[in-house]
Structure 1
Amino acid sequence: MFLLDFLGASVTMLIQAGFAGAIYMYSVYYPHPIVTIGVYWKIWFYTNQSVSMMYRWMLTAACLDPYALSSTSARLRHYANIKNTRLTVIIIVIVWIILPIPLLVLDGVRAGTCNVIYGYAASLYNNIFTMINGYVIPIITMTICSLLIQKNLANKRERRHINIHQPQGENNK
């Protein structure tokens, strides 16, 4: 199931790499379009933000499936299926197409440089938004999932150890 999350993350990374590569190849022979064309800057910045958030969150979602599969709770194990994984990928894509839309309004080219047009508050909003949603939440979620997976596997190993070393007989209940 989590392979679908990895596939989605890989596709979004390839989109980002292709988009960035095309810009840099173009800028070898011509002026860099990001600093000369305001609309291009907005599209590039929005696409970069959107796609990079998509792959970060898909990798985060990929950490949730192994946790659910390693859980002793049948309810959590039931969550880890292809249908839910597909739904998760679709939700991540839709959310990260919508959430960066304010960047289209806030950013632009002014006096030959790309920056946040509306000043300090808009720049602060963008930086905090990116840091929390792109770094803090995914890293904390992945760390918690890895610790919980480790705990679940240790519990399973302990139960298996108890079952193996339990004497076989009619009197054991």
Structure 2
Amino acid sequence: MFLLDFLGASVTMLIQAGFAGAIYMYSVYYPHPIVTIGVYWKIWFYTNQSVSMMYRWMLTAACLDPYALSSTSARLRHYANIKNTRLTVIIIVIVWIILPIPLLVLDGVRAGTCNVIYGYAASLYNNIFTMINGYVIPIITMTICSLLIQKNLANKRERRHINIH
């Protein structure tokens, strides 16, 4: 089931790599469109933010399935199925298409440079938003899941050992 999360993460990573690669190939022969065309910068920044958050959260969701499968709780194991995994992937995509929309308003090209148009507060909002949602929450969730998976597997190993002897 968590393979679907990995597949979703891989697809979004390929989209991001293709999008970035096309920009850099274009900029070999022409002026870099990101620093010269405001609309292009907004689209690039929004797409980059949206897709990178999608794959981070899909990888995070991929850590939840093995935890649920390794749990002794039947209720938790019940949630680790393909239907819920598909729903999770769809929710992640929808959420990360919607949440970065303020970036389309806040960012732009001014005086030939790409930056946050609306000043320090908007820049701070963007940085905090990215740090919390792109790094802190996924890393903490993955770490907790890996520790809980390790604990669940150790408990299962212990129960098997007791049942054998």
1:128 positional shift:
0.1
1:91 positional shift:
0.0
Residues in 2 aligned to 1:31 and 1:160: alpha-carbon distance in whole angstroms: 65
SS of match in other structure, 1:72: coil
Give the aligned length.
Answer: 165
1:9 positional shift:
0.1
Residues in 1 aligned to 2:75 and 2:35: alpha-carbon distance in whole angstroms: 52
SS of match in other structure, 1:31: coil
1:162 positional shift:
0.4
Residue deviations 1:73-93 (CA, integer Å, cap 9, x gap): 000000000000000000000
SS of match in other structure, 2:109: strand
Residues in 2 aligned to 1:127 and 1:51: alpha-carbon distance in whole angstroms: 17
1:132 positional shift:
0.2
1:95 positional shift:
0.1
Identity of aligned residues (%): 100
**Structure 1: where are the runs of 5+ without partners?**
166-173
SS of match in other structure, 1:108: strand
Q: Name the counterpart of 1:100.
A: 100
Moved over 3 A (4+): none
SS of match in other structure, 1:144: helix
Superposed, which structure 2 residues align to 1:33-44 within 5 Å?
33-44=33-44
Residues in 1 aligned to 2:156 and 2:72: alpha-carbon distance in whole angstroms: 8
Residue deviations 1:106-143 (CA, integer Å, cap 9, x gap): 00000000000000000000000000000000000000
Residues in 1 aligned to 2:68 and 2:138: alpha-carbon distance in whole angstroms: 17
Residues in 1 aligned to 2:85 and 2:75: alpha-carbon distance in whole angstroms: 15
Superposed, which structure 2 residues align to 1:107-126 within 5 Å?
107-126=107-126
Residue deviations 1:125-169 (CA, integer Å, cap 9, x gap): 00000000000000000000000000000000000000000xxxx
Q: Name the counterpart of 2:85.
A: 85
Residues in 2 aligned to 1:82 and 1:154: alpha-carbon distance in whole angstroms: 26
TM-score, length basis structure 1: 0.95
**Structure 2: where are the runs of 5+ without partners?**
none
1:17 positional shift:
0.1
Residues in 2 aligned to 1:9 and 1:101: alpha-carbon distance in whole angstroms: 21
1:26 positional shift:
0.1
